[in-house]
Homo-oligomer: A and B are copies of this chain.
């Protein structure tokens, strides 16, 4: 009823998750199951794509019926990212790619120039590109104009758990790109962050660390799922305006005892 379409893919869940950093594979599977996500992102340079071990994450996730979204984490140049994307396409037989091209190894923020270059190449090569971006409205618009299937501005640096540090910019990006699938990628730390992202009108969220490194990953996966669902419903339900002054929710007339 409220499905999300990205390129030719229709997702039943608006939550996408990662697969790294979990205490062990079973917790990963249980948490992803609890999250309800159908699309799971996997860093391609960390799996042996040519000869995966029988119980690799990829196998486990595919057996679980998940759609694999390969990503180019760890790539610093367009060239590297395009190479990894092609490796992924060949090995996994998918045109999906979550494009990350980062500019430093500490904050892992996108390198906008390299990102745009890689996005252009991959779109031209027929990939369905989901582009991890910073929260710059101009860059996000360019990614959309290039033909990316989804644009994914960060809420905060990867793994920081800071939530959405600049809701002002995220709102502008939503307004500028009303028809592009927009996903908040990175920074989400807890359920209220997920809700807030959806209340800003975003189409989904992608996260990994908040679940994988929570004290209880499976419970946190459920928490984030509820938060996202609450935020999405609230966005569609039409919230009350913020009013600086109060307004009595109970009628004031007919007071007793006055």
User: A residues touching B (Cβ–Cβ < 8 Å)?
Assistant: 18, 20-21, 43-46, 71, 73-75, 79-80, 83-84, 87, 103-113, 116, 134, 136-139, 141-142, 156-163, 165-166, 168-169, 172, 186, 189-196, 199, 208-210, 212-217, 219-220, 222-234, 236-258
Contact = CB atoms under 8 A, between A and B. Distances in A.
Contacts of A194: 230
Given A44-B256, A157-B245, A227-B226, A238 B251 contact: no
A83 B257 contact: yes
Contacts of A238: 214-216, 220
Given A75-B255, A248-B73, A255-B45, A234 B243 contact: no
A157 B138 CA distance: 12
Contact of A231 (B74, B192, B234, B247): B192
B210 A199 contact: no
